[in-house]
Amino acid sequence: MVQLTVRHEAWPVRGKFTISRGSRTQADVVVAELSDGTHVGRGECLPYPRYGESVEGVIAEIEALGGPLAEGLDRRGLQSRLPAGAARNAVDLAFWDLECKRAGKRHWDLAGLPQPGPVTTAFTLSIDTPEEMGRKAAANAERPILKLKLAGPDDLDRVEAVRANAPKARIVVDANEGWTAAQYSALVPDLQRLGVVMVEQPLPAGDDAALAGIERPVPVCADESCHDTATLAALKGRYDMVNIKLDKTGGLTEALRLKQAAEAEGYGIMVGCMLTTSLACAPAVVLAQGVALTDIDAPLLLAEDRDPPLKIEGSLVYPPAPALWG
């Protein structure tokens, strides 16, 4: 029998984080803990309004599991008990952490995976004026990958400013559903010229069929359009890559399945994160082994983080210490 506790935590952002849907000055996360009386497992998620989630709603979803958990609900049973999303993610990750502590093993051992090494993360520049994004690019010019949040009339100017101030960096851009197919097609020659290697979710999910009818010389990655393995079939012909995030898949259990299925279908893999602490990003390190692109820089965007945090040297993110997770 395991006992459940759940709480809301607010973590301040370093400055302000802005995408096409608005700005944030803090990360409002939900933490689930599972205790067997000896060991405690933790998992963290970020309720996302874009997916109809709220802190209160996610907490209620998790609290409703108290009875089933006391009656023996385990991680495998959880997969059908809750839909993919933030609530299931927090509990799934808490189960993984608890199982690791009980067994005295690391999460990659339980998953039957090789020991992970460090991964290189993209560093995100949120939407701002071209001048300000150029300034931020200059301050991070030595980072190997910069990810630009876009979705506005000055997007090309923003990319131009970043490229001028970070000439060596690989650049990926994320429109967060803010473009049209015509905008992608109009921008793509200049994006190629500026060395952009990927465009993330240019069109709104549910309105992205047009991607199947246009050339995509700069690969397009599904984010809001790809949640779990059930959503994979609808992406065929529209996307070249998929962005796997634990809060979308509903935990590491399903994320590992999605990664395997997407690779089998020939998609390039990106592993991303929400605006969360190191606790939520820690499981993504093992998921990010061998993928085309990793974007788990959220701890770098916060003013404060867990103790201990993920070890991050520059843009190199190391596997978590057992005291953090897994």
Determine contact, residues 119/317, Cβ cutoff 8 Å.
yes
Nearest-angstrom CA–CA distance, 233 and 237: 10
Question: Chain-centre distance of CA 298, in angstroms?
Answer: 9
What number of helices (H) and strands (E) belong to the chain?
A: 13, 14
- Residues in a beta bridge with 268: 241
Q: Which residues fall within 8 angstroms of residue 233, CB to CB, at 6 or more apart?
A: none
Annotate 114-163 with three-state secondary structure: CCCCCEECCEEECCCCHHHHHHHHHHCCCCCEEEEECCCCCHHHHHHHHH
At residue 203, φ and ψ (nearest 5 deg) are -105, 155
| Cα–Cα distance for residue pair 104/140, rounded to 1 Å | 39
101 a catalytic residue: no
- Is 147 an active-site residue? no
A 10 A CB-CB count for 286 gives: 23
Candidates 147, 149, 248, 259; catalytic one: 149
State how far the alpha carbon of 181 is from the alpha carbons of 50, 147, 184, 209, 210, in Å: 21, 21, 5, 9, 6
Angle, nearest 10°, between helix axes 155-165 and 130-139?
30
Q: Which member of 16, 101, 105, 245 is catalytic?
A: 245
Q: Name 187's Cβ contacts closer than 8 Å, sequence gap at least 6.
A: 155, 156, 179
Active site amino acids: 149, 245
